[in-house]
Structure 1
Amino acid sequence: MKPAQIQAFFTTLATANPQPQTELEFASVFELLAAVLLSAQATDVSVNKATRHLFLVANTPQKMLDLGLEGLEGYIKTIGLYHSKAKHLLQTCQMLINQHGGQVPRTREALEALPGVGRKTANVVLNVAFGEPTMAVDTHIFRVSNRTGLAPGKTPLAVEQALLKRVPQAFLTDAHHWLILHGRYVCQARTPRCWECAVAPYCDFKPKTLEG
């Protein structure tokens, strides 16, 4: 995809959805961190169903710790990998209290030092909570970036670095939301919905799929 096509690609997505948001539900930076940690290899829908009840009783690191492992697992057992996620979340809560005064840190290094928090999770928190122009490359962004020719790469990190170079500055802060939503609802894995894709004219994907 050439620079003029990339500009048109994001202009189109921005016009359709000027203020894209994560579909995870949260009311604080801590809730966001917890929700993103729980969302690994799980859908946002399944995480939201669990956290709607969880955050009513545990919306701070200390309250989460007070639940204990069994108590926390009771709230999140409908989420995949809930046992290891519960342990990681409680360990993270302890670190937030011990090392960060109960607050979520604002640096990548400190975020990635938290149990269960990898680069992708750190990128989501940095972007959504603190407005930094990061790219949290999940399966949707990886697929869209390669399929469209926007930012091809063999690994999530390679795609992330390519996106940061190729996405115009004006779109950087919101780009990962647009790409996730586009991959989730339009540029789907098995059958991309090219017939209803507003950015199809700028896309390198040749075997465009037809409705039917």
Structure 2
Amino acid sequence: MPEGAPDRSRTALVRRARRIHRELAAAYPDAGCELDFSTPFELLVATVLSAQTTDRRVNAVTPVLFARWPDAHTLAGADRAEVEEVIRSTGFFRAKTASVLGLSAALVERHDGEVPGRMTELVRLPGVGRKTANVVLGNAFDVPGLTVDTHFARLVGRFAWVDAATLKDPVRTEHAVGALFERRDWTMLSHRLIWHGRRRCHARRPACGACPVAHWCPAFGTGPTDPVVAEQLVTTQGRA
């Protein structure tokens, strides 16, 4: 390629990625965080609890959890066995209890009980990685971020926005996808990809024939392409 010539393949990728995002925005106008919360602390704890379970399950237990321990100060002093019993149904409840008690204590010790609004400080809290931090930053502090969960990773792989090697590393995936979009779009892009993954682009049998971005998807045909068959696979529930 001559010096100074445009990278046509890169330009095409950016255009296709942004077109897919526009179509998903039209398909899911109500997309947003599906965890119930009223404070940054509640969102932080709920996100930690959401690992390897559904948002619906987390939303079923957090009202009880936060009624008893509404902030970092109270949760840091909670009895471990009592917390375990409340969150038991979310799975891996012993490890999750250790995380929420630990992060609560760290918040009290380092931040006077308040959730910090910076990535560098969030990821220093027990049980908090970049994925959780980006959820909190994007939805509680309006700081753009990409949430590379299983749905997000599956979709960006099917859309061929990143290569297979990059996809093995969530941080590299986050940066590679982020480079395709304006920073201000990152949080809503995450929501829309996750909604699409939960409702149509399923892991085992995606509803390809009922997909609003099928025309631009390199993985079209992974699931049923017949519209009638595909429509039966679509999940329309709010919290999945």
TM-score over 0.5 for the alignment? Answer: yes
Q: Give me the whole-angstrom Cα distance separating, in 1, the residues matched to 2:101 and 2:68.
A: 15
Match of 2:42 in 1: 31
Q: 1:126 aligns with which of 126, 137, 156?
A: 137
User: What are the ranges of 5 or more consecutive residues in structure 1 without an aligned counterpart?
Assistant: none
In structure 1, distance between residues paired with 2:152 and 2:174: 9
Change (3 A) 1:169 1:99: closer
**One-letter code of the match for 2:88?**
K
Distance 1:170 1:67 in 2: 38
Larger Rg: 2
Distance 2:133 2:52 in 1: 16
Task: For residues 166-189 of structure 1, give each alpha carbon's deviation from its aligned partner in whole angstroms, at most 9, with x where no partner exists.
Answer: 124453231111111111111100
In structure 2, how many angstroms separate the alpha carbons of the residues matched to 1:95 and 1:154?
Answer: 31
1:22 pairs with 2:36: no
Which residue of 185, 189, 196 maps to 2:199? Answer: 185
- Over the matched positions of the two proteins, sequence identity in percent amounts to 36
Structure 2 residue aligned with 1:12, among 23, 26, 32? 23
Q: Which runs of 4+ in 1 moved over 4 A?
A: none
Give me the TM-score of the superposition, normalised by structure 2: 0.83
What is the TM-score of this pair, normalised by structure 1? 0.93
Cα RMSD of the aligned pairs, angstroms, is 1.6
Tell me, what secondary structure is at the counterpart of 1:77? helix
Q: What is the Cα deviation at residue 12 of structure 1?
A: 1.1
Three-state SS of the structure 2 residue aligned to 1:67 is coil
Deviates more, 1:80-89 or 1:146-155: 146-155
Q: Which segment is superposed worse, 44-53 or 32-41?
A: 44-53
Query: Are 2:230 and 1:205 equivalent residues in the alignment?
Result: no
**In 2, distance between residues paired with 1:39 and 1:173?**
18
Are the equivalent residues in 1 in contact too, given 2:210–2:225 (CA < 8 A)?
Answer: no
Which blocks of at least 5 consecutive residues in structure 2 are unaligned? 1-11, 230-240
Whether the 8 Å contact between 2:208 and 2:220 is mirrored in structure 1 is no
Amino acid in the other structure paired with 1:199: V
CA distance in 1, matches of 2:132, 2:184: 23
Superposition pairs of residues 1-212 of structure 1, within 5 angstroms: 2-152=13-163, 153-169=167-183, 171-208=185-222, 209-211=224-226, 212=229
Shift of 1:19: 5.0
Opposite residue 41 of structure 2, the aligned amino acid is F
Q: Count how many residue pairs are aligned between Structure 1 and Structure 2.
A: 212
**1:118-169 deviations in whole A, cap 9, x for unaligned?**
1111111111111122111011000000011133333222211111101244
Q: CA separation in 2, counterparts of 1:17 and 1:41?
A: 24
